[in-house]
Amino acid sequence: MMLEAIDGIEEGIKVACKHLKDVRFADDQGVAASTKSGLQEIMDRLSGRVENYELKINIKKTKVARASKNGGAE
């Protein structure tokens, strides 16, 4: 499902010379974007995909974290 949502999206961040769009662990999902609009695009597409599988994104568990290029959180 996540692969369907991020397929064709150029958004993401560069980590160790690799383009990172998402991180999956257990039953959780993390997404990465370099802009607010890029993050919104990923979440909009993911939201559309979860509906196809009759799933829901738990808004109460959804968090946003921002980090600066110099390594500190902003």
Each residue of 19-73: pLDDT tens digit?
Answer: 777 777 787 888 888 888 988 988 888 888 888 888 888 889 888 888 777 665 5
Q: Which residues pair with 22 in a beta bridge?
A: 31
Q: Is 55 exposed, middle or buried (0-12, 13-18, 19+ CB in 10 A)?
A: exposed
- Count: domains in the chain: 1
- E strand or H helix that includes residue 18: strand 18-20
Q: Where are the alpha helices (DSSP H) in 1-74?
A: 2-6, 36-52
Which residues span the domain enclosing 11?
2-61
Judge whether 20 and 10 are in contact, CB under 8 Å: no
> What integer pLDDT is reported at residue 74 of this predicted model?
52
Evaluate whether residue 69 is within a structural domain: no
Evaluate whether residue 24 is within a structural domain: yes
Judge whether 22 and 41 are in contact, CB under 8 Å: no
Evaluate whether residue 44 is within a structural domain: yes
Q: Is the pTM of this model over 0.75?
A: no
